Structure formats: C-alpha cells, structure tokens
Amino acid sequence: MSFQTYIDTIQAKTGKTPEDFQQLAETKGFLEKGMLKATTKAGDIVAWLKADFDLGHGHTMAIVAYFKGKRD
C-alpha cells in the first residue's frame, strides 16, 4: 500500500486529515511548532492513535512518518 493510500484510508475512517492529527499531537505534547519533540517516541504516538482512533499499526506509522516530514 502506498503512503498516499494509507493517508486516504485514515481520512476516510476518521474524518481527519494529517494536518488535523498534527494539531491534535501538538495538544497532546508530542509535537512542538509542527516538529516532533526529541523526547517523543513513535510507540507513544502509535499507542495514542490505536486507542483513540482504532487505527492499525501501518496506518499509525504513516502518521508518524507524516510527522517526520514524509509527504509522498
């Protein structure tokens, strides 16, 4: 599955764009000014997205990749 397919599936399932998740992650303290904090672990983000949005591991990792700067 391509990165864009993961993003499209996430948006269809949750109604949220990657930018929405970025804002939510800022409020949760995972990001600061749109960038991952040095203290943030991918596993913490994965656990949050699985618990709050019922996303699978591949989908959560796509969001982590987005937070790290992947766009295509």
Q: Which residues of 26-51 are buried (b: 16+ CB within 10 A; e: fewer)?
A: eeeebbeeeebeeebebeebbebbee
Mean pLDDT of the chain: 96
Radius of gyration of the chain (CA): 11
> How far is Cα 56 from Cα 32, in angstroms, rounded to an integer?
25
When pLDDT is cut at 50, 70 and 90, the band that residue 1 belongs to is confident
Determine the average pLDDT of the residues in 8-28.
Answer: 97
- Predicted confidence at residue 17, as pLDDT, reads 97
Domain ranges of the chain: 3-67
- Predicted confidence at residue 63, as pLDDT, reads 97
pLDDT-above-90 percentage for the chain: 94
Query: Per-residue pLDDT for 43 more than 90?
Result: yes
Query: Per-residue pLDDT for 72 more than 90?
Result: no
* SS3 state of residue 59: helix
